[in-house]
Amino acid sequence: MSDITSILNAAQRGDGQAAEQLLPLVYDELRKLAAQKMAHELSAQTLQPTALVHEAWLRLGGDKDAKWGDRAHFFAAAAEAMRRILIDNARRKHARRHGGGQERVPIDEIEIADAPKDDDLLAINDALDELAAQDRQKAELVKLRYFIGLTIEEAADVLGIAPRTAKLWWSHARAWLHVEIKARQNP
């Protein structure tokens, strides 16, 4: 049993010191994952990796009913928290009262970005919710890969599946999401 799993078990038994012990063990890994994800975001993104990790930690700690069985379950919950934060941020920026998605861009900073725009991120989120209704495990894999930036091998480890299985699921999920998102864009 890993140190993280032991501490998660202690927290579930009511050990008040467990959360204080858990954060130093997972912070660097969460920060690395957030930095990988944020590297693919638009340059106008105002959310920084450290802020994403802190917000996710607050959301994870704010759920008093949360029970994490092991390291994999904890990181899956962290992936979901980061995904929701990014989606909430995209929705907030897209709201009419916040300029309806318009943003100021200094002319000398214009460059071609390959990261998804807020509209695309919302379409991905909606399609991902539909995928989760059909196949929760493949949706979890997408969250770990897309929203946190885990490699196939890291995501397979978190989900407790073989890397080959993760590759197959990833291929299927990407194809399914591509078709679903195209259908939403061209009704």
Contact residues for 8 (Cβ-Cβ < 8 A; gap 6+) = 18, 22, 68, 69, 70, 71, 73, 74
| Average pLDDT for 158-185 | 89
Quick: pLDDT tens for 169-179.
999 998 888 88
Say how many domains are in the chain: 1
Residue 56 · residue 38 · CB < 8 Å: no
Task: Please determine, for residue 108, whether its predicted confidence score (pLDDT) is greater than 50.
Answer: no
Domain of 30, in residue numbers: 3-185
Q: Which residue has the tokens 């994952």?
A: 33
Output the pLDDT for position 162. 94
Task: Please determine, for residue 44, whether its predicted confidence score (pLDDT) is greater than 60.
Answer: no
Q: What percent of the chain has pLDDT over 70?
A: 75
Quick: pLDDT tens for 83-100.
888 888 877 777 655 555
